[in-house]
Structure 1
Amino acid sequence: MKRRYSLLLLLALAPLFCGCAQKHTTPEQNVITIYGSGATFPQPQIEKWISLYEKINPNIKIEYQGKGSGGGQNDFKEGLVDFAATDPPVKENLWRELERKGQPLQFPIIVGAVVVVYNVPGVDNLRLDGKTLADIFMGKIEYWDDPAIKALNPNANLPHEKIIIIHRSDSSGTTKIFTTYLCLVSEEFEKKVGSGKLVNWPVDELGRGLGGKGNAGVVATLKQTRYSIAYTELAYALKENLKMVALKNKAGKFVIANETTIKSAVGAVKAYIPSPEEGYKEDIRQFLNAEGENSYPIVAFSHILLWKSYPKEKAGAIKEFFTWVLTEGQKSENVVEGYVGLPKDVAEIGLKAVQSIEGV
């Protein structure tokens, strides 16, 4: 009797076991994964786009690793990713290397700003001009109560404490943008330090420099270090509620980075964007220290690097995703605080490039 009961029980449970086995062994159907890496400057925005897009199109998965513009450019060159995010445009020598493998495309994807943030107890609404900022990051100005800083902030209770400078330790588009700005406003900075994704900071030799990996690493170090100053992307500063410096712009006004001051700067410089098939021709100097009373001086586009041709299925997925990014993704409800969506005519430049992508 027991035997018969056991047999009946097994027969009854058999469909259930079969169903479970079938569920675990059947692979996902028609899911295409797109891989990307690069700049941490637009990373919060890219992650939001991915989250929103995957909800409406679960058959396309996008994985993005923030490792700095230089890391993304290298991954793209080596064929490790399908797209890269880079803040500064690719230089001509790398562009020529890419052309030996296929036709690269590069275009703006979002607008952001590099802001100067600080951790000085009791000091709010700090104002700096370009020359003073450059002198701080060169190490020429050592203390917070230096006469140059006091002259710009006569009512601030500035402490006699050494200034600790925090900068990126990795190859960074944010650093390239920031140092290019400092070169524009200070001939001495250009001669002694120069601009680049990686530079030799004089403050490191003076014992007052600290490096952080990625924008997140810079922000974490700043929060832990009193009397420090750093540069980072606006979205990170807003997320962490950091104090931001009001910078003196080309018109002589002290401005904080926000949607209004970023849009003012973009409106003055958007004519300088080259064709996506000649992306290396873009000069970020033309986008910095823009004209206009309300223009924030360190505004920059973040860019996407794509190929003009991909394997057929992947080409379709990439076209769908980046078409969405350049249309729905630019709407204010889909843009992270701290970024500004592209003007429609700038988004059109990228859309035409995306539509030209071919499947082979």
Structure 2
Amino acid sequence: MTSTSIRRAIVPGIAALTLALSACGAANEDTGSTSAEGGGDLSGTLAGGGASTQQAAMGAWAVGFQGTNPDVTVEYDPIGSGGGRENFISGAFPFAGSDAYLTDDEGELSDATERCGGDAPIQVPSYISPIAVAYNLPEVDELKLSPQTLAGIMAGKITTWDDEAIAEDNPDADLPSERINAVHRSDESGTTENFTDYLTTVAPDEWDAGVVETWPTEYGGEGAKGTSGVVQTVENSEFSIGYADASQTAELGQALIGVGDDFVEPSAEAAAKILEASPEAEGASDTAVIYDLDFATEEGGTYPIVLTSYLMACQSYDDAADGELVKAFMEYVISDEGQDQAAAEAGSAPLSDSIQEQSLSIIENIG
């Protein structure tokens, strides 16, 4: 297995986000992670990357993990889910974060299996969060959008804020006759895949591009790179709307989305309910805890536009030090403390006890 310095050479031009920590992290003494409990036994640099949605949570996890492992530096490059999977498969990253699980639609699962020495890669959920529909609409404090209206906006079919479809969802709002600037991810994104999966499921007549990781250019709108790019673009442009991890859109308006007869806000509690009602994906196995979310749910109080972000790793590593660091860090992330840390710092919904237990039993076997 290659060293960290070689990994950086494989992905030139990528400036890794170093989630290093000062001595202040020492307050988090009890990580709840089996491998991390010894404290100070581990050393080295663990460099991964992927989904930008996990960026805030990764910062929190790095602080907690490094509190009992001060000789470890955790680096996470938020280059997007597609980039994370690509660099994991190439061997550039020993672990990756992705808002979409591996499949063989484009051969990624087979490629990852080959990269992991012929063993199926580990895939476990680490982060559950609502995808907020964030908007910058002066004088409109509350915006309600039915699935069909939202799909029409993002497909470029509803182009002004006072369109009758938006007005019907918001009869008491003073909607301006301004053109809508619909903002989307310009990079390959698991958030886009989850968002378009939702649109395809609930409004196929309005959104006919199917489930995609790369935004269809024929639908127009303004592209922005990464979660932070979408948020900044919406913040800086009045009359804009876009989709992004809810934890990073707190300064913007967040639309209430139609579910049955209700309109539901993007809270962690409302997002967590959808996973409880969702089936395991067809490719779920004894190394892959993966789900197909029930975006069409009409269960009251459930926010339907949700992403489940996964951590990906190999079952074994040629470099034992890589395996030891990956195992210890992933155990911390899935632990009670790790999940509580992400909930507090990034607004995510903690994993259920059963998913947590199943995931930890898989991680435990990393060698």
Q: TM-score, normalised by structure 2?
A: 0.82
Q: What are the residue-to-residue correspondences of 1:211-360 with 2, within 5 Å?
A: 211-238=223-250, 241-249=251-259, 251-269=260-278, 274-275=284-285, 277-278=287-288, 282=290, 284=292, 286-310=293-317, 311-335=319-343, 336-358=345-367
Partner-residue secondary structure (3-state), 2:74: strand
Tell me, in whole angstroms, the C-alpha distance in 2 between the residues paired with 1:190 and 1:158.
24
Q: Name 1:112's counterpart in structure 2.
A: 129
For residues 226 and 30 of structure 1, do their structure 2 counterparts lie closer, same or farther at Cα, with a shift above 3 Å needed? closer
Q: 1:263 Cα shift?
A: 2.5
Q: 1:188 Cα shift?
A: 2.5
Segments of structure 1 that go 5 or more residues without pairing to the other structure are 1-28
Tell me, in whole angstroms, the C-alpha distance in 2 between the residues paired with 1:252 and 1:272.
28
For residues 128 and 349 of structure 1, do their structure 2 counterparts lie closer, same or farther at Cα, with a shift above 3 Å needed? same
Tell me, in whole angstroms, the C-alpha distance in 2 between the residues paired with 1:289 and 1:67.
30
Tell me, in whole angstroms, the C-alpha distance in 1 between the residues paired with 2:363 and 2:213.
27
Q: What are the residue-to-residue correspondences of 1:48-67 with 2, within 5 Å?
A: 48-67=60-79
Tell me, in whole angstroms, the C-alpha distance in 2 between the residues paired with 1:86 and 1:39.
5
* Alignment partner of 1:165 is 2:182: yes
More helix by share: 1
* Alignment partner of 1:174 is 2:191: yes
Tell me, in whole angstroms, the C-alpha distance in 2 between the residues paired with 1:143 and 1:254.
21
Q: Name 2:51's counterpart in structure 1.
A: 39
Flag as ranges the 4+ runs of structure 1 deviating above 4 A: 270-273
Q: What are the residue-to-residue correspondences of 1:61-210 with 2, within 5 Å?
A: 61-92=73-104, 93-102=107-116, 103=119, 104-191=121-208, 193-204=209-220, 209-210=221-222
For residues 155 and 341 of structure 1, do their structure 2 counterparts lie closer, same or farther at Cα, with a shift above 3 Å needed? same
Amino acid at match of 2:326: I
After superposition, the C-alpha distances for 1:156-180 in whole angstroms (9 at most, x for unaligned) are: 0001111111111111111111111
Conserved in 2, the CA contact under 8 Å of 1:33 and 1:60? Answer: yes
Tell me, in whole angstroms, the C-alpha distance in 2 between the residues paired with 1:96 and 1:61.
31
Q: 1:252 Cα shift?
A: 2.5
Q: 1:91 Cα shift?
A: 1.7
Partner-residue secondary structure (3-state), 1:41: helix
Q: How many residues align?
A: 320
Percent identity over the alignment? Answer: 30
Conserved in 2, the CA contact under 8 Å of 1:114 and 1:234? Answer: yes
Conserved in 1, the CA contact under 8 Å of 2:81 and 2:98? Answer: yes
For residues 133 and 161 of structure 1, do their structure 2 counterparts lie closer, same or farther at Cα, with a shift above 3 Å needed? same
Amino acid at match of 1:118: Y
Is the radius of gyration larger for structure 1 or structure 2?
1
After superposition, the C-alpha distances for 1:292-334 in whole angstroms (9 at most, x for unaligned) are: 2010011221001100001222222222221121114444355
Q: Name 2:12's counterpart in structure 1.
A: none
Q: Name 1:14's counterpart in structure 2.
A: none
After superposition, the C-alpha distances for 1:76-107 in whole angstroms (9 at most, x for unaligned) are: 01100110100011122210112223221111
Partner-residue secondary structure (3-state), 1:89: coil
Tell me, in whole angstroms, the C-alpha distance in 2 between the residues paired with 1:291 and 1:108.
24
Segments of structure 2 that go 5 or more residues without pairing to the other structure are 1-40
Conserved in 2, the CA contact under 8 Å of 1:265 and 1:291? Answer: no
Tell me, in whole angstroms, the C-alpha distance in 1 between the residues paired with 2:217 and 2:150.
14
After superposition, the C-alpha distances for 1:100-146 in whole angstroms (9 at most, x for unaligned) are: 23221111011111110111111111000111111111111111001
Tell me, in whole angstroms, the C-alpha distance in 2 between the residues paired with 1:84 and 1:290.
30
